[in-house]
């Protein structure tokens, strides 16, 4: 039976997929496990930074009024009455012509209103210094709240947590960090030609590479992969596997079985479950047979068995759904403009997504395919750091033309 399919655009396909609004809610993880997760709540400063008036320098805390008459030819002598290390607090109140030795970051003692840097003073002995310059009221003091006011929003919800954000979380006492729950995505491979990775090659067969590739794409996108193995071309086995997976996971990806061939199973499986097919044909290459069906709040992604098409189908349609689930502030790959450093002379009849490699030349983004455009998926996928989008048009693309690229590396 050869099915009739109605192709839709990539934009329309994405729109239908993103109509699924499921998100996973929040969980708390220890700060030591928060790197790379998505912040599930805006990070609000619960105290001022600094949280007390402090010294920005190594030096002496003094009363500026005592330096009013200080000058190079009129040194004023101060009694050193204490020594404040970082973290310590000087308990007395400073009196006339008293100075306290103070470290960077330490709290300004009561009574003091200025800090003079160590190198601007003259040490007489352990208990005495001379000051030869006038100090102003509030000179060299970092005031409470000067960097961050209590209550301000420091990082908004949806940001991926990087080391700088970790520093903020620690500063504000987030031992437990609110992060978005990760979706669990089941992966099933179909195809009677597939061997498992550790099986010996046989004539007519190839090892299953798509499932492992997809699982690492899932991991890169911030979700959790669960492998259900490869299933054969027997309809009842497939259905049983699928039923099992549906109970455990948020979304399901199958690889293979979507072509319009004699042995392709997916349409029958969708029928069995009464899943609503959102689309089964997209006006693009590769991956034109990418199929997505919906069953309750689950999406069943039917990716092509062709490795490049499978890869592209994931990045274009599964990654945005993951981003949505984890409430990331950006949905889908980052898109940038780049200059083609190669030509595509042939007519470009479809919206194409070519495995590409971008690089910077003098600060300019330049891109070329990452391998032979032919079936040589092998190198092209391993070296790709972007997808080059060439929309369909009657002519080809010339060297130096500006095109859109979608970045594959983890550009949060």
**Binders of a copy of itself in range 370-409 (CB under 8 A):** 375-384, 402, 408-409
Binding mask 206-245 for a copy of itself (x = CB under 8 A): xxxxxxxxxxxx-xx------x-----x------------
Which one, 70 or 106, has the nearer CB to a copy of itself?
A: 106
Dihedral over alpha carbons 168, 174, 175, 179 (to 10 degrees): -100
The residue to which tokens 């550790």 are assigned:
198
**Binders of a copy of itself in range 302-361 (CB under 8 A):** 305, 307, 311, 336-339, 355, 360
Among 73, 125, 203, 274, binds a copy of itself (CB under 8 A): 203
Among 164, 236, 247, 394, binds a copy of itself (CB under 8 A): 164
Among 21, 197, 236, 247, binds a copy of itself (CB under 8 A): 197
**Shortest distance, CB of residue 258 to a copy of itself, whole angstroms?**
12
Are residues 67 and 133 in contact, defined by beta-carbon separation less than 8 angstroms?
yes
**Binders of a copy of itself in range 41-100 (CB under 8 A):** 47, 49-52, 56, 58, 83-89
Binding mask 121-150 for a copy of itself (x = CB under 8 A): ---------------------x----xx--
**Shortest distance, CB of residue 365 to a copy of itself, whole angstroms?**
4
The token pair that represents 170 in the structure block: 């620690």
* Dihedrals phi, psi of 118, to nearest 5 degrees: -50, -45
Binding residues for a copy of itself, total number by CB under 8 A: 106
From residue 190, give the alpha-carbon distance in Å to each of 169, 208, 295.
44, 9, 20
**Shortest distance, CB of residue 262 to a copy of itself, whole angstroms?**
7
Dihedral over alpha carbons 195, 203, 382, 215 (to 10 degrees): -10
Are residues 389 and 405 in contact, defined by beta-carbon separation less than 8 angstroms?
yes
Are residues 345 and 396 in contact, defined by beta-carbon separation less than 8 angstroms?
yes
The number of CA neighbours under 13 Å toward the Cβ of 130 is 10
User: CA–CA separation, 410 vs 379, rounded Å?
Assistant: 20
**Binders of a copy of itself in range 172-191 (CB under 8 A):** 172-175, 191
């Amino acid at each position: 039976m050869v099915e009739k399919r109605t192709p839709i655009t990539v934009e329309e396909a994405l729109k239908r997929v993103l109509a699924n609004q499921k998100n996973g809610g929040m969980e708390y993880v220890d700060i030591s496990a928060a790197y790379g997760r998505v912040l599930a709540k805006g990070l609000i400063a619960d105290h001022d930074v600094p949280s007390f008036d402090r010294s920005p320098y190594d030096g002496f805390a003094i009363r500026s009024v005592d330096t009013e008459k200080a000058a190079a030819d009129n040194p004023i002598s101060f009694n050193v009455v204490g020594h404040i290390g970082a973290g310590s607090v000087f308990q007395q109140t400073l009196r006339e012509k008293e100075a306290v030795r103070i470290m960077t970051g330490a709290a300004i003692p009561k009574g003091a209103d200025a800090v003079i840097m160590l190198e601007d003073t003259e040490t007489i002995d352990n208990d005495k210094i001379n000051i030869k310059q006038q100090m102003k009221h509030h000179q060299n003091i970092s005031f409470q709240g000067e960097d961050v006011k209590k209550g301000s929003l420091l990082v908004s919800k949806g940001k991926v947590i990087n080391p700088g954000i970790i520093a903020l979380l620690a500063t504000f006492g987030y031992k437990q960090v609110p992060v978005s729950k990760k979706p669990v995505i089941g992966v099933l491979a179909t195809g009677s030609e597939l061997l498992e990775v550790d099986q010996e090659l046989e004539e007519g067969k190839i090892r299953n590479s798509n499932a492992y590739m997809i699982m690492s794409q899932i991991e890169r996108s911030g979700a959790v992969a669960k492998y259900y193995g490869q299933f054969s071309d027997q309809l009842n086995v497939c259905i049983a596997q699928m039923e099992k997976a549906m109970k455990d996971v948020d979304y399901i990806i199958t690889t293979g079985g979507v072509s319009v061939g004699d042995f392709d199973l997916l349409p029958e499986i969708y029928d069995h479950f009464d899943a609503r097919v959102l689309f089964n044909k997209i006006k693009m290459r590769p991956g034109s047979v990418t199929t997505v069906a919906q069953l309750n709040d689950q999406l069943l992604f039917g990716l092509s068995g062709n490795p490049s098409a499978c890869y592209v189908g994931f990045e274009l349609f599964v990654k945005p759904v993951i981003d949505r689930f984890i409430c990331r502030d950006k949905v889908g790959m980052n898109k940038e403009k780049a200059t083609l450093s190669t030509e595509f002379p042939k007519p470009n009849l479809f919206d194409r997504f070519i495995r590409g490699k971008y690089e910077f030349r003098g600060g300019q983004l330049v891109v070329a395919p990452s391998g032979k455009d032919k079936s040589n998926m092998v190198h092209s996928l391993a070296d790709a750091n972007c997808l080059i989008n060439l929309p369909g048009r009657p002519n080809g693309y010339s060297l130096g033309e500006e095109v859109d690229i979608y970045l594959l590396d983890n550009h949060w």
